A and B are shown apart, each in its own frame.
Chain A
Amino acid sequence: MLARVADNLYWMSRYLERADQTARLLDVQVGSLADHPAAAVARGWRRLFRALDVEPPGRFDFFADAADENFLLADAFALADFMTFEADNPGSVRSLWARARENARQVRQELTSEMWSRLNRSWLKLRDTEILSVWSDEPQNFYKDTSAAIYLFRGITDNSLRHGLAWDFIRLGRFIERIQLTAAILEAHRPALGADDDGLDWTLLLRSCASFEPYCKHHTALIEPRQVMRFLLFEPRSPHSLRFGAEMLRVGLRRIDPVGGGRHPLAPPHRLAGRLRSVLAYSSAGEDLFETTLAQVRAIARDLHDQIVRRYIAYSADQALRMG
């Protein structure tokens, strides 16, 4: 497969995953408006921006206005607009979709017509939606629909595209992005573990990571903060846990590059994927290890992206020619 094509599919998939995750965070945050104290809502916004690594629009000072009920709804409207539709914000849901579609358009011949048509139609709908109509209806419905459109696209991908290299790179992009974002979200919530008076509603974290129902099935609805962290880090069968993602990356890389995974020394991406998995699978899971484990996961995931790009996409020609 052409390196440029793989690059476009990989990024298309990363942007879609990020759009899905952003929509879900907004869904949960907007939902908390109804019944959470103003201070908790303000802290929620702060965590959301920190997790997504987006600079909030300048005039918002979450510390100063934290307890001001009057500004709560107006702020939420403006912040949601900024994170959903703002064209100048590269992290807004609409910007992320636009980039995903542009990546897809560059390699349209590699997608099945069903995939393209679904992506295109969802994009056209999002493009023509404005915050006012979302807000005057039920905002949470809109965010759920946005995530559902991405789920549908994934389903179509799995069932119409040949499970060859194109499919593999799409999965690779999805799980790299998921691991990086989930780790960032967990890191934004971790400080609340120590502070008992923080009043953090840990169900919101589970919902933000699409893991509330899987958690309840596994642990019942008794929400215990450390249990929640452990579940999102180490649970092997929950599709949004870090460990699950690490396993998907390891398997995916072996499919993409069997040689790099079967030879000593292992190719850099395989080595990193193996390390990521061992950090998450064999960690003693001690409570004080959350911080170091998350730091390790984030560092490895960053390197892994770099090594994937370096080995399969932007390798130097000299290096490739030497390897013959």
Chain B
Amino acid sequence: MGGAATSPAFDRYDFDSTFYDEMFEEDGQPREHCAEFHATLSATPPEELQRIQERVTRSFLHEGITFTVYGDEQTIERVFPIDCLPRMVRGDEWDEVARGLEQRIRALNLFLHDIYHRGLILRDGVVPADMIYGSKHYRIEMRDLPVPHDVYVSICGSDLVRTHDGFAVLEDNLRVPSGVSYMLACRDALKRSMPRRYRRSRVRDVEQYSQLLLGMLASLAPPHVPDPTIVLLTPGVYNSAYYEHAFLARQMGIELVEGRDLLVHNERVFMRTTEGLRRVDVIYRRIDDDFIDPLTFRPDSVLGVPGLFHAFRAGRVVIANAPGTGVADDKGVYAYVPRMIRYYLDEEPLLANVPTNLCREPEGLQYTLDNLDRLVVKLVGESGGYGMLVGPHATRAERAEFAESLKADPASYISQPTLALSRAPCLIGRRIEPRHVDLRPFILTGERTDIVPGGLCRVALRKGSLVVNSSQGGGSKDAWIVDVEDG
């Protein structure tokens, strides 16, 4: 088996070695862990592949797996696009990634504990104090407040990219990461549409995620509450991730509550049921800090629960993730994570960052200004592409204009090289073609850390595109962590 691509579907597959290919070596041979799957693919006629694709898409349609696109005029619900070919990662390679993620979340939790207590890392000048205390995501209300197991980030979704240099972290989502329901739905759809291929590929399970999440949330409850009531707090049906909130609540068998379902009395949190008020012990919140409690944070919030933060302060209820974690997933702070790992753990980072130039540092600024045409420059406090310059795609005038704002306020900017994201084979029509992908694994931390082997693999389905966001032509793939047999 093995050998070069033989199926007509692989005709004209682009083996451009500028990008790391997830399935093929540079010489066009399938990688060892993909060999068996590649062989079955090669033996599958394109029509059969299309049928598999149709089955997978239909299963998403029937499940109502949609996302919301916010347009100027109206909002539209679209089916989340899914590609039927899995992206495969070698088991031993994944184990290294998982160790790196575990190390990273350990350091990030120590960092959050530190900056909300003594601030040693700031005093020692490893991370600039003004960057933290000046951040709009720093919650002064969290100062000196204990959190269970000293864990601030219980649920983390980190975006990983792969280049020829290996895996690197592009971003940590430490607030309310989403996407895990798509991971589970992709897996479910693939298993049902190609059961034999799935079985033969020895893929590691991800289905235990909901159980692990529930167990983790229960472990955050105070020890004197043996049978804690856990709820999932959603902003409601108009939130773009509402499908996921409903999905997870149903999977875990817990109530899906909105702010108006909860009330606080004597620093205790209750939910309104038809049988009266019921005490709530742990809240898995899927709403942002700003909206949790109008008395403490944004007074105009109608999504939150008045007095919730006071109940949290008094230790009467657990909120996961803890408020105030956003300060650590700021793009500027991100650049310091490798230094945090060395500082707190005295270890070398196992998982690299994407090379990042901090414009607050003179050499970073100079390098950025000298290479504007090759770099992506980002505003640190923002997300979703705001205040960003993509050097190679900008005009000379735009770059000159951007350079001025950069020089005026260098501390607010970072720059990164444009990334040569790896590519994985996707079914495009009747043909298999490579497309750029990333990977978002989910890291659960309570008493211990659990990472389900896999994640949400996002794919830029438009040819040549590097944008994996679902609002811009992105879709998803199942991510298979496969073990290669010894010998």
Q: Does chain A bind chain B?
A: yes
Per-residue A-contact encoding for B273-299, CB less than 8 Å = 1, 0 else: 111110000000000000000000000
Of the candidate stretches A28-36, A40-48, A315-323, the one touching chain B is: A315-323
Q: For B62, what are the chain A residues with a Cβ–Cβ distance below 8 Å?
A: 113
Q: Is A312 an interface residue (CB 8 A)?
A: yes
Q: Does A108 contact B (CB under 8 A)?
A: yes
Q: Which residue of the partner chain, among B237, B270, B274, contacts A105 with CB atoms under 8 Å?
A: B237
**Which residues of chain A from 1 to 56 have a CB within 8 Å of any chain B CB?**
1-4, 6
Q: Which of A256-285 contact B (CB under 8 A)?
A: 256-257
Contact (Cβ within 8 A) B273 A3 = yes
CB–CB B263/A2 < 8 A: no
**B393, CB-defined interface residue at 8 Å:** no
Pair B277/A2 contact, Cβ less than 8 Å: no
Determine if B246 is an interface residue (Cβ-Cβ < 8 Å): yes
A108 and B242 alpha carbons, distance in the complex (Å): 10
| Structural contact, B261 and A3, CB atoms closer than 8 A | yes
A2, A105, A109: the one within 8 Å of B273 (CB): A2
List chain B residues, Cβ under 8 A from A227.
none
> Quick check: is B168 within 8 A (CB to CB) of the other chain?
no
Among A3, A108, A312, A315, max chain B CB count under 10 A is at: A3
Question: Roughly how many angstroms separate A258 CA and B431 CA in the complex, as a whole number?
Answer: 63
Q: Knowing A2-B257, A108-B246, A109-B256 touch, does A321 contact B265 (C-beta < 8 A)?
A: yes
Given contacts A109-B256, A317-B265, contact A1 B273 (CB under 8 A): yes
Q: Which of A2, A108, A315, A320 has the most CB atoms of chain B within a 10 A radius of its CB?
A: A2
The 0/1 profile, CB within 8 Å of B marked 1, for residues 294-324 of chain A is 0000000000000000001101010011010
Q: Collect the chain A residues with CB atoms within 8 Å of residue B136's CB.
A: none
For this complex, into which size category does the number of interface residues on chain B fall? 20 to 34
Docked complex Cα distance between A321 and B246 (Å) = 29
The answer to whether B448 has its CB under 8 Å from any CB of chain A is no
A106 to B247, CA, bound (A): 14
Whether A165 sits at the interface, judged by CB under 8 Å, is yes
List A residues 85-142 near B (Cβ within 8 Å). Answer: 105-106, 108-109, 113, 116
**What's the least CB distance linking B311 to chain A, in Å?**
14
* Known contacts A2-B255, A2-B257, A2-B261: A165-B274 contact under CB 8 Å: yes
B residues contacting A by CB (< 8 A) are 62-64, 236-237, 246-247, 249-250, 255-258, 260-261, 263, 265, 270-277
Find B277's partner among A165, A257, A320 (CB 8 Å cutoff): A320
CB neighbours (8 Å) of B270 from chain A are 317
Q: How many A-B residue pairs have CB under 8 A?
A: 53
- Is the CB–CB distance between B256 and A4 below 8 Å? no
> In terms of DSSP, what is the predominant structure of the interface of chain A?
helix
A2 touches B246 (CB 8 A): no
A321 to B276, CA, bound (A): 8
Min Cβ gap B65→A in Å is 12
Q: Is the CB of B277 within 8 A of A321?
A: yes
**Cα distance, A116 to B274, chains bound together (Å):** 23
Within 8 Å CB of B250, what residues of A?
A: 109
B263 A313 Cβ-Cβ under 8 A: no
- Bound-state Cα–Cα, A224 to B359, Å: 92
Given A106-B237, A109-B256, A1–B265 Cβ distance below 8 Å? Answer: no
Q: Are A1 and B274 in contact (CB under 8 A)?
A: yes
- Supply 30 A–B pairs (Cβ within 8 Å), ascending by A: A1-B273, A1-B275, A2-B273, A3-B261, A3-B273, A3-B274, A4-B258, A4-B260, A4-B272, A6-B274, A105-B237, A106-B236, A108-B237, A109-B246, A109-B256, A113-B62, A113-B63, A116-B64, A165-B274, A169-B274, A257-B274, A257-B275, A315-B272, A315-B276, A317-B263, A317-B270, A317-B277, A320-B276, A321-B265, A321-B277
Q: Which 9 A-B pairs have the closest CB atoms?
A: A109-B246, A3-B272, A312-B274, A320-B277, A6-B274, A320-B276, A1-B274, A4-B261, A109-B250
Cβ–Cβ < 8 Å partners of A323 in chain B: 276
Residues of B within 8 A of A169 (CB): 274
CA distance A116 to B261 in the complex (A): 23
Main secondary structure of the interface of B (DSSP, over half): mixed
Smallest beta-carbon distance A165→chain B, Å: 6
Residue of B nearest to A120 (CB): B64
Closest residue on chain A to residue B256 by CB atoms: A109
Question: Quick one: closest A residue to B247, CB to CB?
Answer: A109
Q: Which residue of A lies closest to B277 (CB)?
A: A320
Q: Please report the C-alpha to C-alpha distance between residue A1 and residue B272 in the assembled complex, in whole angstroms.
A: 8
B249 pairs with A2, CB closer than 8 A: no
Assess the B274–A256 pair: CB atoms within 8 A: yes
Q: Tell me which of A106, A113, A313 contacts B274 (CB under 8 A).
A: A313
A315 to B263, CA, bound (A): 12
- What's the nearest-Cβ distance from chain A to residue B96, in Å? 38
> Which residues from B are CB-within-8-Å of A106?
236-237
- A257 cross-chain contacts in B, Cβ below 8 A: 274-275
**Minimal Cβ-Cβ distance residue in B for A106:** B237
Q: Are B271 and A2 in contact (CB under 8 A)?
A: yes
Given A108-B237, A321-B265, 10 new contacts (CB under 8 A): A2-B257, A4-B258, A109-B249, A113-B62, A312-B274, A315-B272, A315-B276, A317-B272, A320-B276, A323-B276
Measured in the bound complex, the distance between the Cα atoms of B246 and A145 in whole Å is 32
**Of B64, B255, B277, most A-chain CB atoms within 10 Å:** B277
Alpha-carbon distance A211/B409, docked complex (angstroms): 78
Q: How far is the CA of A98 from the CA of B453 in the complex (A)?
A: 43
Q: How far is the CB of B124 from chain A (nearest CB, A)?
A: 48
Q: How far is the CA of A315 from the CA of B276 in the complex (A)?
A: 8
Q: State the CA gap A165–B64 with chains docked (Å).
A: 25
Q: How far is it, in angstroms, between the C-alpha of A176 and the C-alpha of B318 when the chains are bound?
A: 40
Q: Across the interface, which residues of B come within 8 angstroms of A312, CB to CB?
A: 274
* CB proximity of B78 to chain A, nearest CB, Å: 16
B257: chain A residues within 8 A (beta carbon)? 2
Q: How far is the CA of A1 from the CA of B265 in the complex (A)?
A: 20
What is the minimal beta-carbon distance from A219 to any residue of chain B, in angstroms? 41
A113 to B271, CA, bound (A): 26
CB contacts (< 8 Å) of A315 on chain B: these are 272, 276
Taking the closest CB of chain B, its distance from the CB of A117, in whole angstroms, is 8
CA distance A3 to B270 in the complex (A): 12
A312 to B263 alpha-carbon distance, docked (Å): 16
In angstroms, Cα B255 to Cα A251, docked, is: 27
Chain A min CB distance to B263 (Å): 5
Contacts of B247 in A (CB 8 A): 109
A260 → chain B closest CB, angstroms: 10
* Residues on the A chain within 8 Å of B255, using CB: 2
| Distance in Å: Cβ of A176 to nearest Cβ of chain B | 15
Q: Which of B64, B237, B272 contacts A2 (CB 8 A)?
A: B272
Whole-angstrom CA separation of A323 from B273 in the bound complex: 14
Query: How far is B277's CA from A165's CA once the two chains are assembled, in angstroms?
Result: 16
User: How far is it, in angstroms, between the C-alpha of A109 and the C-alpha of B273 when the chains are bound?
Assistant: 16
| Interfacial chain A residues near B276, Cβ < 8 Å | 315, 320, 323
Measured CA separation A323–B277 after assembly (Å): 10
Alpha-carbon distance A143/B15, docked complex (angstroms): 61
A1 to B249, CA, bound (A): 14
